Amino acid sequence: MMLERRGDHDVGVRMLDGLSDEEIVRRLAESGCEGPLWVTIQVDLWAHCLPAVEAMVLGGSLGHRTERLRRPIRLTETEREALQQDPHALREMFSIAFEKQLDYFVTCLLRGEGWRPGAGLPLRAYFLNGLLLHLKNPIRGWWRARRRLASEAPGFDEPDFAQSCDEDLGPEEWLIASEDIEALVTALHNFDPGLCRAFLIRADTGWSWSRIAQVVGLSANRLLALRQGFLEYLQNDNRHGEGGDYGS
């Protein structure tokens, strides 16, 4: 994680003292996520999320937690033991997911989207959920690397590494898992602001599309039509070489 000067962090700590989540988000939006407060928020989020993720991964609760977000990450006991013996690998995967969630958080915040007061989750818990959604891609990379190394060793057992293969993602889950968050949010917003909000809620909460339709004020059929229309729009753009790379 890239941080600014220590002095900025010390100033930010004093600025953060006693502020509500709503006030923090308001000030971050006003500053464009720059300056001492933003530096301090990054440090605070890192300090909150890293031990939480380590406890979930090594303690075995990651699968249950990510299932609730509709993006399950299931690690075997052997894999948990491997990560316990190699904490650097776990921190590297965490760092990748953390930076992706930071990008997503800033992009949404500056568009007036993302975390909202009264939506049910404190800011830290909201950020942690988003980080967990981004964690699957780096873990996939770790799975592939483990399988590659194991396949070169005598006595390689294919079934032991079955989940190292990429899962088939539906088109919308593929988009939500996007590496290029800013491009995806821009494309969604340009296509339909209501659909953009629906996708962001899906990424943040894992709620069903029918529940999201109620939240964004659309009928279930209208939201379905928008989702299908957006996927066709991207396919047409990519077919003509005009679309961005929204995949991972």
Q: What is the pLDDT of residues 85-138, one digit of tens each?
A: 999 999 999 999 999 999 989 988 888 888 887 767 899 999 999 999 889 888
Whether residue 62 has pLDDT greater than 90:
yes
- 243 touches 175 (CB < 8 A): no
Q: Whose structure tokens read 């609730």?
A: 68
Q: What is the pLDDT of residues 27-57, one digit of tens each?
A: 999 999 998 889 889 999 999 999 999 999 9
Whether residue 164 has pLDDT greater than 50:
no
- 8 touches 39 (CB < 8 A): yes
> What are the residues whose beta carbons fall under 8 Å from the beta carbon of 163, sequence distance 6 or more?
74, 76, 143
Supply angle C-alpha 168, 169, 171, rounded to 5: 130
- 142 touches 97 (CB < 8 A): no
The predicted model gives 206-232 an average pLDDT of: 87
Least Cα distance to 71 among 3, 132, 145 occurs for: 132
Q: Which of 8-12, 177-181, 215-219 has the highest mean pLDDT?
A: 215-219
The domains of the chain are located at 1-167, 169-248
